[in-house]
Amino acid sequence: MVQIKDIVNQLQLDVYSGEEFLERDVVSSEISRPGLELTGYFNYYPDDRIQVFGKKEITFTEKMTSLEKDIIFKKLCTSKTPCFVVARGLEVPTELVEITRQKGIPIISSTIHTSRLSGIISNFLESQLAERVSIHGVLVEVYGLGVLIQGNSGIGKSETGLELIKKGHRLIADDRVDIYKQDERTVIGEAPAILEHLMEIRGVGIIDIMNLFGASSVRRKSQISLVVNLQDWSNDNQFDRLGSATETISLANVPVPRITIPVSTGRNVATIIEVAAMNFRAKTMGYDATKKFEENLAQLIETNSSQEGE
């Protein structure tokens, strides 16, 4: 559950009035700008949303009489209304301040422009109110990419994550990763509060990554851009050698690219994951080494065929 005080503290907003009412709950991530409502049209008024006043709304109220403001503002203030937010450092109507105090609703203010402020609040609420699912794995940020390492128990996920951290990359979560859908193409992963900054290394126990490696070695959350599946090496298993096979896994109903890396004695899995992350970034930028190899191979075959024909 998110309360108004969480929004004020996390986004560093100012409380204009009603500081004693900041424990009101917010149940919707959507934001409302009461335009039609100011004209008296309340048929579809979303009273459970945060109500944002920008320059247009404030300018419109300045043309209203005190009685009109009193009538409209009382309708805007319901038992479900979380709070009012006034952007751009604009002056809040006196009538709104009085009525919100009577109804127990806080007013928040900010100097940020209206559209940007609405986006900031909406993004924060979406991340906080989104349904979370816990999955098993180690989430590490490698070269700016969120890489989720998965595999059978005991295969060395945490040890590989630790090696990556020693190489200068950052830990997001170990063992259990809470994920949620940010939008249709983005899934975010973070650590549960009880496991934040902690790793379990068999034979050593629980270690605090931030305490051992510093604040730059951890991050609170990250988009999951790539999933690396660690699998025991076996001659019976077929592994992709060219990188041409495309595989995805669904996380929170979002498709995420996945590669499988065989694990055997002598293979430096952490280094391989680093290279996989760099190769993935290169592909997203338009360069595909596999296609380059296939083009070179096709050109070689064509050259040999021409020479044989001569």
pLDDT at 265: 78
Q: Which carries the bigger pLDDT value, residue 268 or residue 240? A: 268
pLDDT computed for residue 285 by the predictor: 81
Residue 254 pLDDT > 80 = yes
* pLDDT value of position 115: 95
* Confidence (pLDDT) at 148: 97
pLDDT digits (tens, 9 = 90+) for 95-120: 999 999 999 999 999 999 999 999 99
Active-site residue, 169 included: no
Least confident range of 117-126, 204-213, 229-238: 229-238
Catalytic residue among 136, 167, 220, 267: 136
Q: Are the CB atoms for 171 and 178 separated by under 8 Å?
A: no
Looking at residue 184, its pLDDT comes to 86
133-288: in CATH 3.40.50.300: yes
Given the residues 157, 170, 219, 221, the one annotated as active site: 157
Binding residue positions: 151-158, 200
Show the CA angle centred on residue 81, arms to residues 19 and 42, nearest 5°. Answer: 140
Residues contacting residue 207 through CB under 8 Å, at least 6 positions apart: 198, 199, 200, 201
Is 136 among the residues known to form the active site?
yes
Q: What share of the chain is helix, strand, coil (3-state, %, to 5)?
A: 40, 30, 35
> What is the end-to-end Cα distance of the chain in Å, rounded?
77
Instruction: Report the pLDDT value the prediction gives residue 221, as an integer from 0 to 100.
Output: 94
Question: pLDDT band at 267, cuts 50/70/90?
Answer: confident
Residue predicted with more confidence, 264 or 228:
228
List C-alpha distances in Å: 224 to 133, 161, 168, 220.
14, 15, 19, 13
Q: What is the mean pLDDT of the chain?
A: 91
CA neighbor of 36 nearest in space, from 46, 27, 50, 28: 46
Q: 175, 176, 258, 283: which is the annotated catalytic residue?
A: 175
Question: What pLDDT does residue 308 have?
Answer: 62
User: Would you state the pLDDT for residue 120?
Assistant: 96
Whether the CB-CB separation of 127 and 115 falls below 8 Å is answered with no
Question: pLDDT band at 215, cuts 50/70/90?
Answer: very high
Extract the annotated binding site for Mg(2+): 158, 200
Task: Judge whether residue 147 has pLDDT over 60.
Answer: yes
Per-residue pLDDT of 42-96, as tens digits, reads 999 999 999 999 999 999 999 999 999 999 999 999 999 999 999 999 999 999 9
- Confidence check: pLDDT of 165 > 70: yes
Residue at token pair 């059978």: 152
Would the pTM count as exceeding 0.85? no
* Mean pLDDT, rounded, for 238-254: 76
Cα three-residue angle 276-170-207, rounded to 5 degrees? 120
Integer Cα distance of 87 and 46 in angstroms: 19
Q: Please give the pLDDT value at position 82.
A: 97
**DSSP label at residue 220:** S
Mean pLDDT, range 264-276, rounded to an integer:
90
pLDDT (mean) for 118-135: 93
Percent of the chain topping pLDDT 90:
78
Instruction: Please name the amino acid found at residue 149.
Output: I
- Domain residue ranges in the chain: 2-129, 133-288
- Provide DSSP, 216-238: GGB-SEEEEEEEEEEEE--TTS-
**Right CATH for 2-129 from 1.10.940.10, 3.40.718.10, 3.40.50.2020, 3.40.1390.20:** 3.40.1390.20
Distance between CA atoms of residues 261 and 273, nearest Å:
8
Catalytic-labelled residue, pool 63, 183, 202, 241: 241
Query: Tell me: the pLDDT tens digits for 171-196?
Result: 999 999 999 998 889 999 999 999 99
Using alpha carbons, select from 110, 82, 111, 106 the residue that is nearest to residue 96: 106
Token pair recorded at residue 25: 């709950």
What pLDDT shows up at residue 310?
Answer: 58
